[in-house]
Amino acid sequence: MKPGAPPNSGRGFVRSFAGVFPLRQRLRPWFLTAVLVALSVVALAPAKASAEFVLDMTPAGKSIVDPQGIAIFQQTSISTAGSGVIDPFLSIQQASSPTVQGFNSDASKVYADAAHTTEFTEVQTGSSQGTKSILLSSIPTVTIGGVVYREFLLDDNQTGSDPAITLKELEFYTVNNNPNIDSLQTLRSTGTLAYKLDNAASHPEGVDVLIHTDLSNGSGAADLFVYIRDDAFKSFGANTNLYLYSKFQDNNDGFEEWSVLIPPHTNPNPPEPPSVVPAPPSVVLLGIGGIGLVGFVTLSRRRRLVAA
Ligand SMILES: [Ca+2]
Ligand SMILES: [Ca+2]
Ligand SMILES: [Ca+2]
Question: pLDDT, tens digit, for every residue of 282-291?
Answer: 444 443 343 3
State the Cα–Cα distance between residues 170 and 245, nearest whole angstrom.
6
In which band, very low, low, confident or very high, does the pLDDT at 176 lie, cut at 50, 70 and 90?
very high
Tell me the average pLDDT across 139-160: 96
Distance of CA 19 to CAs 2, 75, 187, 256, Å?
A: 20, 60, 53, 63
Look at 31-35, 134-138, 144-148, 275-279 and tell me which has the smallest mean pLDDT: 31-35
- Ligand with an atom nearest the CA of residue 86: 1
Ligand 2 geometric centre to CA of 296 (Å): 53
Ligand 3 geometric centre to CA of 156 (Å): 17
E strand spans, 129-261: 134-135, 141-144, 147-155, 164-176, 192-196, 207-212, 224-229, 240-249, 256-261
Q: Are 223 and 211 in contact (CB under 8 A)?
A: yes
Which of 159, 129, 154, 153 has the alpha carbon at shortest distance from 251?
159
- Ligand with an atom nearest the CA of residue 55: 3
On the 0-12 / 13-18 / 19+ scale of CB atoms within 10 A, 34 is exposed
- Ligand with an atom nearest the CA of residue 213: 1
Q: How far apart are the first and last CA of the chain?
A: 21
Rounded to a whole number, what is the largest CA-CA distance in the chain? 84
State the Cα–Cα distance between residues 162 and 214, nearest whole angstrom.
9
pLDDT at 11 over 70: no
Ligand 2 geometric centre to CA of 95 (Å): 6
Q: Are 93 and 254 in contact (CB under 8 A)?
A: yes
Ligand 2 geometric centre to CA of 285 (Å): 39
E strand spans, 20-138: 53-56, 63-65, 71-75, 86-92, 100-103, 134-135
- CB atoms inside a 10 Å sphere around CB 290: 11
Question: pLDDT, tens digit, for every residue of 39-75?
Answer: 443 344 443 344 999 999 999 999 999 999 999 999 9
Ligand 3 geometric centre to CA of 294 (Å): 35
